[in-house]
A and B are shown apart, each in its own frame.
Chain A
Amino acid sequence: KAGVTQTPRYLIKTRGQQVTLSCSPISGHRSVSWYQQTPGQGLQFLFEYFSETQRNKGNFPGRFSGRQFSNSRSEMNVSTLELGDSALYLCASSLDGGAHNEQFFGPGTRLTVL
């Protein structure tokens, strides 16, 4: 069974631009979560999607948004990029969400904002 895939793996953008990251979950998984990972901050929860609906949201500004498609693939968008948005963005999928479910993580997208 194929794992979680994320594209692109690396991105370089400049301040003020916007960016879209993509995540394909494991087949059959309906829940997709996004995390921002930065040195010293660890993983910060961005949001979780389930059946095309945002079910949970972390404490990030509205510049961070996402969506999920009917095939459970998810995209994350960051508008008006700031230097502080440079991070590794991780996507994780699980069967149906819920704190008891194991999350399977993708390799991440490394975003650099110049």
Chain B
Amino acid sequence: AQSVTQPDIHITVSEGASLELRCNYSYGATPYLFWYVQSPGQGLQLLLKYFSGDTLVQGIKGFEAEFKRSQSSFNLRKPSVHWSDAAEYFCAVGALGTGNQFYFGTGTSLTVIP
């Protein structure tokens, strides 16, 4: 069965520091992978996605993620965090088949210290 694990429930970083959020997935084939961000009181916004090809994908707001098949991981990174990056981050895998069937991780809450 498909599943997504985000092992870090909460992360605190200082503004300007680098960031890496972990995501591991379980899926029988090449997955479609996504990272979303949710600010308080808002819906989810897509940061980036991976379907195939180059395993390093660039997204909005300076985020990037690397797909590593051997580790079943899709970690999100940012070289220098801004205070506005404080939010909840969700990793998701899209199941191939008919229609939308996405599996989300439980999220990682990011706090940014000035």
A interface list, Cβ under 8 A from B: 4, 31, 33, 35, 40-45, 48, 50, 55-56, 90, 92, 94, 97-108
Q: A105-B44, A106-B43, A107-B42 are known contacts. Are A31 and B49 too (CB-CB below 8 A)?
A: no
The list of the 8 closest CB pairs from A to B, nearest first, reads A99-B94, A105-B43, A42-B106, A55-B99, A97-B99, A43-B104, A105-B44, A99-B32
Indicate if B95 sits at the interface (CB-CB under 8 A): yes
CB distance from A34 to the nearest CB of B (A): 10
Cβ–Cβ contact A99 & B49, under 8 A: no
Query: Which of B96, B97, B101, B104 has the most C-beta atoms of chain A within 10 angstroms of its own C-beta?
Result: B101
Cα(A107)–Cα(B106), bound, Å: 18
Contacts of A107 in B (CB 8 A): 41-43
Interface bits B60-99 vs A (CB < 8 Å: 1, else 0): 0000000000000000000000000000001010111111
Cα(A107)–Cα(B99), bound, Å: 22
Cα(A94)–Cα(B46), bound, Å: 12
Contacts of A55 in B (CB 8 A): 98-100
Cβ–Cβ contact B99 & A48, under 8 A: yes
Cα(A50)–Cα(B97), bound, Å: 14
Contacts of A40 in B (CB 8 A): 106
Cβ–Cβ contact A99 & B106, under 8 A: no
CB distance from A13 to the nearest CB of B (A): 20
Cβ–Cβ contact B97 & A99, under 8 A: yes
Cβ–Cβ contact A33 & B43, under 8 A: no
Q: Which residue of A lies closest to B105 (CB)?
A: A42
6 A-B pairs whose Cβ atoms sit less than 8 Å apart in the complex: A31-B100, A42-B105, A94-B100, A98-B100, A107-B41, A107-B43
Indicate if B45 sits at the interface (CB-CB under 8 A): yes
Q: Which residue of A lies closest to B51 (CB)?
A: A100
Interface bits B26-65 vs A (CB < 8 Å: 1, else 0): 0000001000100001111110010100000000000000
